[in-house]
Structure 1
Amino acid sequence: MRAYLFALVPAVAFLPGPAAAQSRVDATELDSVVVTATRSPDDALLVPAAIDLVDADEIDRAQPRIDLSESLQRVPGVVARDRQNQAQDLQVSIRGYGARAAFGVRGVRLYTDGIPATMPDGQGQVSHFPLESAGRIEVLRGPFSALYGNASGGVIELFTADAPPVPTLGAGFVAGANGLRKSSLSFHTPWGAEDGRSGTQGDLLLDLIDIDSDGYRDHSGSHRTSGQALLRGTFGDGGRYTLLFNGLDLTADDPQGLTAAQVRDNRRAASDGALTFDTRKTVRQDQFGARVEHTLSAGHEIAVTAWAGNRATTQMLSVPVAVQRDNPLHNGGAIDLDRDYHGIDGRWRWSTELAGGPFALTAGFDYEVSDEHRLGFENFTGNDVGVVGALRRDERNRVTANDVYLQAEWAPAERWRLHVGVRRSEVEFESDDRFVTAINPDDSGALEYARTSPVAGVLFRATPWLSLYANAGAGFETPTFSELAYRSDGQGGLNDTLAPARSRNQEIGVRARHGGWAYSAALFHSRTTDELVVAANEGGRSVYDNAGTTRRRGAEFAVDGALAPRWHLAAAYTFLDARYRDDFVVCGSPPCNQDDVVIEAGRHIPGLARNTAWAELRWRPVEHTDVMLQGRFVDRVFADDANSEAAPAYASFDLAAERRFRTAGLEWRGFARVNNLFDRDVVGSVIVNAGGGRYFEPAPGRHWMVGLDATKAF
């Protein structure tokens, strides 16, 4: 990312600005780095943290650009699993944080063009990420992610590409197995002064994407339409602005998880409950963001970003009828959730010299609010199931995050860089119960969590192409409103027994770029107190609890470079040992008056693989043509805290080819790919602690995709 989203600053919401994107690598001026990484791979040599950049070529090359799981495989420490279930979004984790999520993304901060895709309670979504026009994806792993607030694992941010030099109209189509059909339309254009030196100038990007799929499994069809409009420009002397609008419309069936026996019997099946209750979800989201940056004087810069949006979700669950009838306090099996959210982030940066070396100080604030109206209904009427019935829940919920932060960067000598920062986070939850009857008491309540998160890092540039670094920091992760929504005792109201997870993290690493090759390696250790865990997961409802202490330690390696003039290799490997360090007790099958299942110390944290690896060998037989063989290995993944069941380890390979050509006055890009080339049986993801042993979400066997894009420059 560019100059106004600092890798050590939690300021989250600043889009890239051309004038701000200068890399300063000499001894007299500090480089400006941004939220997760920097604007070029070479700039990563100047940041004391584990950062990665996935550029537009890597996002586009022979890919359908459906979701982030395609691109993030090449980043060590990151797992993005396509669950073959659009109703539940991707399963994203970084260094083992986030794998507990039954839906959406937890433990990882998400941004698109500087606008948060994570709510103030830590719940995130990636379904609206505009991959069709992505210029790059940047990823920050490790301790410095603490500076972004309510998360533990890391930060993922997508940036829209710059417009081409001339107005360009684009269209594309992808078709594939299981009824996949994707259509896209775009218009990207620059505007204003042509010389880029006087007057105002900027770019406008409009994108519309429509994706339809029958789904690999029974009852897993989906339809998703998304669009984005981005306007960037300059004003006055050193001013820049960005206006962003994006929208999402999603309808998806939910096949739910399968037991191991069901997977062996029919990998494509949906659960009985999914078919009986027609489990499904609809999502409508609209979001607007604006950012203004300005240089006040020599050494002083400010940036302000504001955003607002609405996300409306309806979902049909498979909660048995008898469970709702027998418990008058039950919240029902159908959900209607309407969320309005907004926020503002402001930052001031001062650059000067300290003891003969460049010094920069950044201070800022971040204020975010999410207001939601949550309704719960029975999922039956008389003998009809899978329909919206009587009202069982009516709540107004509000979560507010007030954060302030401070960061200092100093280069005391030519080869050394020091970075320190601190963020104070206060997150408040308020619930107003409006469904009060003679047998259903008022369950209103409020909770507040606060934490100060310091981080520090040091980097030594041993040579112009080799950097060594070390860092440490404290992390903080609150429960989300969805995680607070259900109690293990079956009573209503917030789950006020949940405490926030608090972590201490250390990391050492090395990065190098030399002779056409890029290398990186990192060793990390994290210790978390009150880890948030899934106590039980049944009928689309997850009940959460706190574990004692957990430990994550591991190693990450990545390499990228040219083997020969026409051959290119990229590879990534992650070792992760994630375990519970203390015995703890949870409610195994809610409702429980007291916890009754003991999880012994030493068990592996479920949802995580001990070893993962990915590699790509690319061959360019002729100009504008690429042929790729990609392979991945995923170790077994335990599905429950007791480590009694696991998805088996697997290795799979994909074969793809892309051709770029010009004809009829158009620029064309065509691709074809066969995934899971050898038709291996793969469980793509697991649902941690799912009820009835329905842990497993199978992935497709051998399947194909073809696509063709065309652009016309005017």
Structure 2
Amino acid sequence: MRFTALAFALASALLPHVAAAQSPEEPEPRNADSATDLDAVVVTATRNPTDALLVPAAIDVIGAGEINRAQPRIDLSESLQRVPGVVARDRQNQAQDLQVSIRGFGARAAFGVRGVQLYTDGIPATMPDGQGQVSHFPLESAGRIEVLRGPFSALYGNASGGVIELFTAAAPADPTVRAGYTAGADGLRRGSLSFHTPWGRDDHGDLLVDLVNIDSDGYRDHSAARRTSGQALLRGDVGGGRFTVLFNGLDVEADDPQGLTAEQLQGDRRAASEGALTFDTRKTVRQDQFGARFERDVSAHHAFTVTAWAGNRATTQMLSVPVFVQRSTPLHNGGAIDLDRDYRGIDGRWRWSTDLAGRPFSLTAGFDHEVSDEHRLGFENFIGDTVGVVGALRRDEHNRVTGNDAYLQAEWAPAERWRVDLGVRRSRVRFESDDRFVSDINPDDSGALEYSRTSPVAGVLFRATPWLSVFANAGAGFETPTFSELAYRSDDQGGLNDALQPARSRNYEVGLRARRPAWEYSAALFHSRTEDELVVAANEGGRSVYDNAGTTVRRGAELALEGELAPRWHVAGAYTFLDARYAEDFAVCGTPSCAQDDVVIEDGRHIPGLARHTAWAELRWSPYDTTDVMLQGRFVDRVYADDANTAAAPAYASFDLAAEHRFHAAGLDWRAFARINNLFDRDIVGSVIVNASGGRYFEPAPGRHAVVGLSASKAFR
């Protein structure tokens, strides 16, 4: 029935134009959604607005058309798959958020995002300890997404892989109201409402308010979720400068089905783990964030930018830690978590533009101060014989992370076709824990840790022709463990995991970027060597213990292209080769609790959670100016799930078919889309839980399923 309905929707989108094709009338000019725009693309991920063709680093921009076209806009994975070097896996588990990694950095995350800095409209979405979330990213009104990969991400601080930044769309010409509704398999329902209006005169500024609600019964048992998010944005000119004020909120309630073993995967792919059902594993998140940014050109040579932000994130989570483990271990932290985190920060920078040796030169100096205060409570997940409920208190502590960074960045064009970029960042991150749960059998586990590092970066670009640039760069990265990674020790004792050290990487990259009238393509080769790689030592009951793994090496290649095959035929593609391995033996504690490391991982093993080959491609046919039909395909190579490489998710190839039609009726502008995902109904493992206990590594993705959506907008002229 669902495929009959989808076929009808696809036919409805195309039939009006079949009749139109019999008319001798000339087609209307193509609109922005169907046109290919290969004009100069200005990016800001290097902190200063620059044509992407002149940036000596790997950077990609995803435009509004790619974000919106026939997409339900549930999460970032829909858009990021077209960027080489980036993996964003929808885990079908909103209790754990997306798995996002760039060039293999961030794959260790049991939940949230690590090793990647996140921003929305210039406001940080990453905590001082490097932990980030993307579930609150406002895709409803996104204008573009910039992705910076490689060494230059070091200038953003606590990150090794890259930077992902979302920018809200520019103001419409007239006040506009838009409403939309999307429905799909497994009870997926998405409703949205937004209002976007210019204000003042002569493009003085704009005001945006949008609200999105997503409900799903979930593909798997015990994976239902509800997510509500909202955004209010005000931009404009004041005092000779430009300001942005942003508020966003997020409310999530989600069940956690946890991972499956290989045997369970061959049986009922939709099943939840036994522990998830027994303990009713679940998670709630409430987040509110406010940010403000002001930019001003003081003179022809001087400009400054000040950004300030503050927020709160409250999380409760029920884990499946067995009762006997908590009863038999007096110092155990329990199986239920209650976190309340306040965070704030300020970033100020000054830019000086002048000439050096008669050639353009600029210098940017800045300082970044961030603080996160967290109240962490741990409880037993049982009362008597009843499990899955909040029981006796086992942990009570106040934690603080303070980050202080200073950075300096220089840009110089020493000759007509050359550009040199130099930068350095000094980072200092301090972790403090105040234990409030002290007794005769539970000693005071208060403590503090401090990490510091200087991270230099340098890049050079040569514009070989007006349409081709080649570049090379090198830099050092610095990535501290997050407080969540410091929270548990392998010996099940209390206090911070003070044995953890920050990961330190040296990164190298060469590449090229070309922009022809109808084609754009890029390529890059990269090499990274990391000392004290942060790895998951054990993952049990939703609780992860981390360790350092010595030296790792990542090397790879990236290719991307986009252009017109023929009139009305458009193609885009991305390919990544990634060889990520441990470069020396190391030992970890295999299963808590253990008094010593008892599992040896030999050098040459692949870093788990990463595919050696990934590819994505899209063929789009726009038979008429208001219609797009797309065939999308992806290939993901085998993904190892554990450090010893004894278990792996198999490689797969899958295809999606989608169509979108835009039309005007009843005084409204309409957009309708329909898509079939996993067209050939392949059995796919969407993601893995690295080093999960009991072999519960695998999180299956849905088979063939349909999604349809309809939105309407009204401009008040």
TM range (shorter): over 0.9
Residue in 2 that maps onto 1:156: 164
Correspondent of 2:228 among 225, 228, 231:
225
SS of aligned partner of 1:620 = strand
Residue in 2 that maps onto 1:59: 67
Q: CA deviation at 1:292?
A: 1.0
Kept in 2, the 8 Å contact 1:37–1:44? The answer is: no
User: Which deviations, in whole Å up to 9, do the C-alpha atoms of 1:440-496 show, x marking residues without a partner?
Assistant: 000000000000000000000001100000000000000000000011111111001
* Structure 1: stretches of 5+ with no match in the other structure: 1-23, 26-30
Q: Which amino acid letter does the alignment assign opposite residue 303 of structure 1? A: T
Cα distance between partner residues in 2 of 1:601 and 1:590: 23
Residue in 2 that maps onto 1:207: 210
Structure 2 CA distance for partners of 1:505 and 1:416, relative to 1, 3 Å: same
Q: Which amino acid letter does the alignment assign opposite residue 228 of structure 1? A: Q
Percent identity, aligned pairs only, is: 81
Cα distance between partner residues in 2 of 1:157 and 1:597: 39
Residue in 2 that maps onto 1:173: 181
Residue in 1 that maps onto 2:143: 135
Correspondent of 1:382 among 384, 389, 403:
384
Cα distance between partner residues in 2 of 1:74 and 1:339: 34
In the alignment, is residue 119 of structure 1 matched against residue 121 of structure 2? no
Q: CA deviation at 1:236?
A: 3.0
Q: CA deviation at 1:657?
A: 0.1
Residue in 2 that maps onto 1:544: 546
User: Which deviations, in whole Å up to 9, do the C-alpha atoms of 1:383-442 show, x marking residues without a partner?
Assistant: 110000000000000000000000000001110000000000000000000000110000
Residue in 1 that maps onto 2:79: 71
Q: Which amino acid letter does the alignment assign opposite residue 450 of structure 1? A: S
Matches within 5 A, 1:170-569: 170-193=178-201, 195-196=202-203, 201-237=204-240, 239-569=241-571
User: Which deviations, in whole Å up to 9, do the C-alpha atoms of 1:268-301 show, x marking residues without a partner?
Assistant: 0000000000000000000000011111122000
Q: Which amino acid letter does the alignment assign opposite residue 224 of structure 1? A: R
Q: Which amino acid letter does the alignment assign opposite residue 465 of structure 1? A: W
Matches within 5 A, 1:531-680: 531-680=533-682
Q: Which runs of 4+ in 1 moved over 3 A?
A: 36-40
Q: CA deviation at 1:38?
A: 7.9
Residue in 2 that maps onto 1:13: none
Kept in 1, the 8 Å contact 2:396–2:436? The answer is: yes
Q: Which amino acid letter does the alignment assign opposite residue 427 of structure 1? A: V
SS of aligned partner of 2:441 = coil
Q: Which amino acid letter does the alignment assign opposite residue 290 of structure 1? A: A
Q: CA deviation at 1:595?
A: 0.4
Cα distance between partner residues in 2 of 1:429 and 1:39: 34
Kept in 2, the 8 Å contact 1:37–1:51? The answer is: no
Cα distance between partner residues in 2 of 1:597 and 1:488: 13
Q: CA deviation at 1:547?
A: 0.6
Q: Which amino acid letter does the alignment assign opposite residue 209 of structure 1? A: V
Q: Which amino acid letter does the alignment assign opposite residue 278 of structure 2? A: T
Q: CA deviation at 1:37?
A: 8.5
Equivalent pairs, count: 678
Kept in 1, the 8 Å contact 2:641–2:649? The answer is: yes
Cα distance between partner residues in 1 of 2:163 and 2:244: 21
Q: Which amino acid letter does the alignment assign opposite residue 35 of structure 1? A: A
User: Which deviations, in whole Å up to 9, do the C-alpha atoms of 1:588-634 show, x marking residues without a partner?
Assistant: 01111110100000000000000000000000112210000000000
Structure 2 CA distance for partners of 1:488 and 1:681, relative to 1, 3 Å: same
Residue in 2 that maps onto 1:104: 112
Cα distance between partner residues in 2 of 1:551 and 1:124: 24
Cα distance between partner residues in 2 of 1:562 and 1:439: 70
Normalising by structure 2, we get a TM-score of: 0.94
Kept in 2, the 8 Å contact 1:630–1:654? The answer is: yes
Q: CA deviation at 1:501?
A: 0.3
Q: Which amino acid letter does the alignment assign opposite residue 239 of structure 2? A: G
* Structure 2: stretches of 5+ with no match in the other structure: 1-38
SS of aligned partner of 1:241 = strand
Q: CA deviation at 1:115?
A: 1.3
User: Which deviations, in whole Å up to 9, do the C-alpha atoms of 1:137-187 show, x marking residues without a partner?
Assistant: 000000001111001100000011112010001100000000000000000
SS of aligned partner of 1:621 = strand
Structure 2 CA distance for partners of 1:38 and 1:134, relative to 1, 3 Å: farther
Kept in 1, the 8 Å contact 2:42–2:52? The answer is: no
Correspondent of 2:55 among 44, 47, 57:
47
Correspondent of 1:35 among 45, 57, 60:
45
Normalising by structure 1, we get a TM-score of: 0.94
Residue range with higher mean Cα deviation, 292-301 or 264-273: 292-301
Cα distance between partner residues in 1 of 2:618 and 2:265: 30
CA root-mean-square deviation: 1.2
